[in-house]
Structure 1
């Protein structure tokens, strides 16, 4: 069985591959990375995070390589009342973003009042219902899988496939 488990190590989550493609584009176009976008609500709190989004980081131009480092400006999009709260909590937001980035990258915040798209609500997955014979078959097929999480995920997938086939009448 350990030989079969070896094959699973080569797979990477789609999010890892997507961030590998998106990070350079975001960094070049907006001076921002995907990790900051994905962690925004965790960084500034869920109340403000739901009403705002980081748009870009404006890095000051350096005339010479010897010029000292100057912190950047973080541009945040937000609506109405959130702008007042962000303005009031600017120091705290700068500290949290800098802690997330790992260095004093941000020195100022610029607020742009514009509509902020609401994040899509998480899809609620329904548990697929299958007959007893199909359930026994799924248990038999997945019984030898040692990893509990993988076994449960494959069992859910099997139930979904069988339920979908039954729904289509195949």
Structure 2
């Protein structure tokens, strides 16, 4: 006696998406409406501006020229950048190179000039990286003994760094 069963496919679950994609989907429309920016530009600013400029600057908004008709030529935007004190002079000096990096980020000549606005920027968030205590000679010897038989030098070095971190965190909590 054979019974016919209909095999149903299990219900499809939505694909797992990175949290950054979900947040960008929510934040990008607000940034575009208020400042003409994308969260991608704001998030990539430290890489675009470089460490020296990123510490004292922040992109505020993109100002696009109004187009009267479809036949008007494309006008690149003006990027308003907020900066503090001495960063304004550095930003002004490196404006040409920064504009090239911004255009490389967008993939086309999107920004034609910078408008510098001096204002206080919020203090950078404190580092959340835990402090590590010195593990001492005994800790280094323990790690060396534990990793002595590992042949691959890159793996051995990675495990030694991991051991230093684990022991340093444990000792810092004592």
Smaller-chain TM-score bracket: 0.5 to 0.7
Q: Distance in 2 between matches of 1:122 and 1:18?
A: 23
Q: Distance in 1 between matches of 2:41 and 2:124?
A: 15
* Post-superposition offset of 1:125: 5.3
Asked if 1:37 corresponds to 2:38, the answer is no
Asked if 1:82 corresponds to 2:91, the answer is no
1:25 corresponding residue in structure 2: 30
- Number of residue equivalences: 121
Specify every segment of 5 or more residues in structure 2 that has no aligned partner in the other structure, as ranges. Answer: 1-11, 132-174
* Post-superposition offset of 1:78: 0.2
Contact (CA 8 Å) 1:50, 1:118: kept in 2 or not? no
So what's the TM-score if we normalise by structure 1? 0.66
Counting only pairs closer than 5 Å after superposition, residues 83-162 of structure 1 correspond to structure 2 as 83-124=88-129
Change (3 A) 1:15 1:122: farther
Q: Distance in 2 between matches of 1:22 and 1:122?
A: 25
Runs (4+) of structure 1 exceeding 3 A deviation are none
So what's the TM-score if we normalise by structure 2? 0.65
2:16 corresponding residue in structure 1: 11
Change (3 A) 1:104 1:47: same
Bigger radius of gyration, 1 or 2? 2
* Post-superposition offset of 1:11: 2.3
Contact (CA 8 Å) 1:40, 1:49: kept in 2 or not? yes
2:67 corresponding residue in structure 1: 62
Q: Cα RMSD over matched residues?
A: 2.1
Match of 1:32, SS state, is coil
Contact (CA 8 Å) 1:71, 1:106: kept in 2 or not? yes
Q: Which structure shows the higher helix fraction?
A: 1
Contact (CA 8 Å) 1:58, 1:74: kept in 2 or not? yes
* Post-superposition offset of 1:26: 0.6
* Post-superposition offset of 1:121: 2.9
